[in-house]
Amino acid sequence: MVLAAGQRSSPESKSALAALCEAYWPPLYAFLRRKGYSPADAQDLTQGFFTLLLERNDMAAVRRERGKFRSFLIASLQHFLANEHDRRTAQKRGGDRKPLSLDFDAAERGYAIQASDQRSPEDAFARQWALTLLDRVQTLLRQEQEAQGKAEQWERLGPYLTGEQRAAPYTETAAALGLSEGAVKTAVHRLRRRFGELLRQEIAQTVSESSSVDQEIGELFEALRR
């Protein structure tokens, strides 16, 4: 996905670039808020950063040998913040135009939940990246289940994936779905396995080598524990 975004001549470029921006902007917003920027300033900076990123085609600088897209993105944002001239130029260039339609209200609500902790901006970025990734994968799995005509089953079994407190006892779920308790447990096992497959596929799109997927998973889950 990252490499396709840097190839403007590729037919997949536009959609890849849009997908990247839509998927990975919340961690940048969390980083800016933890740095002390107000919600309004963090919104302006996020939009300004992506305006500059898209207009300069910085994605073309990403190469497989350079490692994680996550590292590239946060380093680019820090450079953007340090370069006052670039920031002002980006604001003038973009004006009131918003290159992306971003749900800042949702991002601010998510940040407010974590605002009382003592994480550094970098740790806040890593944690929000992990949360964004897990939410993205869960959405993909839900859409996959719905496409297979299993919307009701997903509503009943989805909570078991993350161990949510609202997950009902297996016996209750089995009765609601007209299945045996064993069948429900098997279905949950399959969902968890598919979740893991989708997670690895999603991470593989933003790391340089397939061998780095396990390391990235480890780092992101470590970020959730901090």
Same domain, 205 and 188: yes
The predicted pLDDT at position 66 comes to 53
Residue ranges making up the domain that contains 76 = 1-116
Domain count, the chain: 2
Domain boundary among 116, 136, 164: 116
Q: What is the pLDDT of residues 39-63, one digit of tens each?
A: 989 988 988 888 777 776 655 555 5
How many CB atoms are located within 10 Å of the residue 40 CB?
A: 9
Q: What is the pTM assigned to this prediction?
A: 0.77
Amino acid at 87: R
Same domain, 91 and 133: no
Same domain, 128 and 156: yes
Helical H segments across the chain, by residue range: 2-5, 13-34, 39-56, 69-82, 84-94, 104-114, 121-147, 151-162, 170-177, 181-204, 213-225
Same domain, 67 and 156: no
The predicted pLDDT at position 96 comes to 56
Mean pLDDT per 10-residue interval, the chain, length 226 residues: 55 66 86 91 88 67 61 88 67 56 74 72 91 92 96 93 77 94 95 96 84 89 86
Same domain, 208 and 225: yes
Could you give the CA distance from residue 67 to residue 206 in angstroms, rounded to a whole number?
A: 8
Same domain, 126 and 179: yes
The predicted pLDDT at position 155 comes to 92
Same domain, 130 and 222: yes
Domain boundary among 81, 116, 151: 116
The predicted pLDDT at position 125 comes to 92
